[in-house]
């Protein structure tokens, strides 16, 4: 074991709040949100470009896949610190260090439950044993790395005296950040702030560490609790894009950041986030995880900047600030005006895509450009949202063993719905088949099933318009459940024709199933936080 040089007390600007993003760890624990390695890398790049201070890239001991994605992120990302999670035991800590050690800036995050409920029922450990284990683990982590975070899991329900004791011992052992999780989303803002304040008043060495918040949203108070924690002196907030996470989720990054920015007059604090990248980041995480953002979601929901009432519209026309406290462009919400047309060239496309917050290679631009031309032929008006869909389609890195070549459906009030599909198989052969169904979409799904031989239950099917106008693009998101595997797979596609989008989304999910089978990938969960930690 290497011995790291003496700790430097973290020098920090007291007016700056660090943003610790855990979309790739706690966020990935949202049911149905697991991501593959290339998807995680894609999200990590977006987070780094957004300016997050720390990216919690995963829980390396949980599976080989988790380990490899944390290591890949650590090897590539610059600017942001890359953090790996570990329970308080040697194997977890060693594995976490193996995964993050090549990062430009690495952090190990160790956690151990401290509340009486967890101590007695889950861990069966006495308070003295908890302190001993926490200290030994922080020391071990500190022997590898200078930047160590310690979390007393379920801190918000831990007796305050004991919490102060554990936190003091963890700092003494070398923790540079102490995180105070409200693991089950039980706290209220006043109570949570009191916990942070008490730590600041009663823990003698608290000045040697940054206090962090980590709030879950079970009672819908994650953001309010985090901000109350900040007001009480916390200077790191743990959060996720779109608030995804275990159960009801975590505090939403975009809400925390925009609350601090918009109410700078009140909080007097800043973050390093490039807020105009929030909306593209939200869309990207939603695309990759398949977790849709509710329409009325603050900051990034589709209605967040829509004004319906006449009285509001009138006020807006006279003076925006009457009803708007943030400008859509401040968070990167695409403009609704016409941006590009049939005759626009590659340069204009690249400029607009960059303005929207996406970074694409020359090859990706070329592919998006071809799709853009095809879309501009079908659709008179190409909006920013249309471009976002085209770009995101090519950012998904799922190989496509099965490809839809053509599709024909018949449906109506007095005909039997029928679908004929031509599909290229993974070996290159083109196969045609037809099926009847309860409607044209059902017929397509049955025809695809006949060709591919992939049997799955349709679990969820959502169609929504994602751009505006009569010729808007429709987006289909669906989930297929494979019983033999006890797993579900997402598919997503957009088109001006929702029947075509349905077929493409279904094949997208079938491809995910095929790729999963080829890799023989079985997720070996070694213990998620909260389950035996």
Which CA distances in Å does 40 have to 25, 56, 60, 284? 10, 11, 13, 11
Is 181 one of the binding residues for ligand KIV (CB under 6 A)? Answer: yes
Chain centre distance of CA 61: 20
Is 153 one of the binding residues for ligand KIV (CB under 6 A)? Answer: yes
Is 137 one of the binding residues for ligand KIV (CB under 6 A)? Answer: no
Residues 330 and 332: their CA atoms lie apart, in Å, by 6
**Of 216 and 297, which has the nearer Cβ to ligand KIV?**
216
**Of 101 and 528, which has the nearer Cβ to Zn ion?**
528
**Of 311 and 531, which has the nearer Cβ to ligand KIV?**
531
Residues 469-488: x where in contact with ligand KIV by CB under 6 A, - otherwise, as a string? --------------------
**Of 142 and 216, which has the nearer Cβ to ligand KIV?**
216
Residues 131 and 21: their CA atoms lie apart, in Å, by 27
Is 529 one of the binding residues for ligand KIV (CB under 6 A)? Answer: yes
Q: Which two structure tokens, joined as six digits, stand for 134?
A: 């926490």
Which of the listed partners (Zn ion, ligand KIV, none) does 58 bind, with a CB threshold of 5 to 8 Å by partner kind?
A: none
**Of 97 and 150, which has the nearer Cβ to ligand KIV?**
150
Q: In what order do the strands lie in the sheet with 430-436?
A: 403-410, 418-424, 430-436
Is 214 one of the binding residues for ligand KIV (CB under 6 A)? Answer: yes
HSE on the CB side for 499, CA within 13 Å?
Answer: 17
CA dihedral 466, 468, 472, 476 (to 10 degrees): 20
The dihedral sign for the CA sequence 19, 85, 118, 200: negative
Residues 526 and 533: their CA atoms lie apart, in Å, by 10
Which of the listed partners (ligand KIV, Zn ion, none) does 111 bind, with a CB threshold of 5 to 8 Å by partner kind?
A: ligand KIV
HSE on the CB side for 402, CA within 13 Å?
Answer: 27
The 8-class DSSP code of residue 300 comes to T
Which of the listed partners (ligand KIV, Zn ion, none) does 386 bind, with a CB threshold of 5 to 8 Å by partner kind?
A: none
Which of the listed partners (ligand KIV, Zn ion, none) does 358 bind, with a CB threshold of 5 to 8 Å by partner kind?
A: none
Burial of 415 from C-beta contacts in 10 A (0-12 / 13-18 / 19+): exposed
- Taking CB under 6 A as the criterion, the residue among 20, 67, 97, 111 binding ligand KIV is 111
- Contact segment (CB under 5 A) with Zn ion among 19-27, 302-310, 339-347, 401-409 equals 19-27
- Contact segment (CB under 6 A) with ligand KIV among 176-184, 202-210, 349-357, 390-398 equals 176-184
Chain centre distance of CA 117: 30
Positions in 26-85 near Zn ion (CB under 5 A): 26
- Taking CB under 6 A as the criterion, the residue among 19, 21, 26, 230 binding ligand KIV is 26
Residue numbers at the binding site for Zn ion (CB under 5 A): 26
Residue numbers at the binding site for ligand KIV (CB under 6 A): 26, 111, 151, 153, 179, 181, 183, 214, 216, 529
């Amino acid at each position: 074991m290497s011995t790291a040089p003496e700790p430097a007390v973290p020098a920090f600007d007291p007016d700056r709040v660090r943003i610790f993003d855990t979309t790739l760890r706690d966020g990935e624990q949202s049911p149905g949100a697991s991501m593959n390695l290339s998807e995680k890398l894609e999200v990590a790049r977006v987070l780094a470009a957004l300016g997050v201070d720390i990216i919690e890239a995963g829980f390396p001991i949980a599976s080989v896949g988790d380990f490899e994605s944390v290591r890949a992120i650590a090897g590539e990302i610059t600017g942001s610190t890359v953090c790996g999670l570990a329970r308080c035991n040697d194997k977890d800590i060693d594995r976490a260090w193996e995964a993050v050690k090549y990062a430009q800036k690495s952090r190990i995050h160790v956690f151990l439950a401290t509340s009486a409920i967890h101590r007695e029922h889950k861990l069966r450990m006495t308070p003295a044993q908890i302190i001993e284990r926490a200290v030994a683990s922080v020391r071990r982590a500190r022997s590898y790395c200078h930047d160590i975070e310690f979390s007393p899991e379920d801190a918000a329900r831990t007796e305050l005296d004991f919490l102060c004791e554990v936190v003091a011992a963890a700092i003494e052992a070398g923790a540079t950040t102490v995180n105070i999780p409200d693991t089950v989303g039980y706290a209220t803002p006043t109570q949570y702030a009191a916990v942070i304040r008490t730590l600041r008043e009663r823990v003698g060495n608290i000045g040697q560490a940054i206090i962090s918040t980590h709030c879950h949203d079970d009672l819908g108070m994650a953001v309010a609790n985090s901000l109350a924690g900040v007001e009480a002196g916390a200077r790191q907030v743990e959060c996720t894009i779109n608030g995804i996470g275990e159960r009801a989720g975590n505090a939403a990054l975009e809400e925390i950041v925009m609350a601090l920015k918009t109410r700078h007059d009140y909080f007097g604090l800043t973050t390093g986030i490039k807020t105009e990248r929030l909306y593209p980041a939200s869309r990207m995480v939603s695309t990759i995880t398949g977790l849709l953002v509710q329409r009325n979601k603050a900051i990034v929901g589709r209605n967040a900047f829509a004004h319906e009432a006449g009285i509001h519209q009138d006020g807006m026309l006279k003076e925006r600030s009457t009803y708007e406290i943030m400008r859509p462009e401040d968070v990167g919400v695409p403009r609704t005006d016409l941006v590009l047309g049939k005759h626009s060239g590659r340069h204009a496309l690249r400029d607009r895509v960059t303005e929207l917050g996406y970074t694409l290679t020359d090859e990706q631009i070329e592919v998006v450009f071809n799709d853009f031309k095809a879309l501009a032929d079908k659709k008179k008006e190409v909006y920013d949202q249309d471009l976002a869909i085209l770009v995101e389609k090519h950012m998904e890195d799922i190989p496509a063993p099965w490809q839809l070549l053509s599709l024909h459906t018949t449906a109506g009030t007095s005909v039997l719905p029928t679908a004929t599909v031509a599909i290229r198989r993974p070996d290159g052969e083109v196969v045609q088949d037809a099926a009847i169904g309860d409607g044209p979409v059902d017929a397509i799904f049955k025809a695809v099933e006949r060709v591919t031989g992939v049997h799955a239950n349709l679990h969820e099917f959502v169609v929504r318009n994602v751009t505006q106008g009569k010729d808007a693009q429709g987006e289909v998101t669906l989930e297929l459940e494979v019983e033999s595997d006890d797993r579900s797979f997402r598919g997503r596609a957009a088109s001006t024709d929702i029947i075509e989008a349905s077929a493409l989304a279904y094949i997208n999910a079938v491809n995910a199933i095929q790729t999963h089978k080829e890799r023989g990938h079985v997720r070996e969960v070694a213990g998620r936080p909260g389950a035996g930690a």
